[in-house]
Amino acid sequence: MNRREYIDPVYYEGRSGRQDHTSKYACPFGYLTRKWSWWTAGWNDMDMELQLEAQEQSAAAAAPDANSFAA
Kindly indicate the confidence band of residue 11, based on its pLDDT and cuts at 50, 70 and 90. very high
Task: Tell me if 14 is assigned to some domain.
Answer: yes
Query: Quick check: is 69 in a domain?
Result: no
Residue 67 in any domain: the answer is no
Q: Is the separation of the CB atoms in 59 and 33 below 8 Å?
A: no
In a domain, 47, yes or no: yes
Q: What angle do CA 10, 17, 24 make, to 5 degrees?
A: 95
Mean pLDDT in residue range 17-44: 96
Does residue 4 fall inside a structural domain? no
Domain presence at residue 71: no
Query: For the whole model, what pTM was predicted?
Result: 0.77
Q: In angstroms, rounded to a whole number, what is the distance separating the alpha carbons of residues 28 and 57?
A: 32
Residue 2 lies in a domain: no
Q: How many domains does the chain have?
A: 1
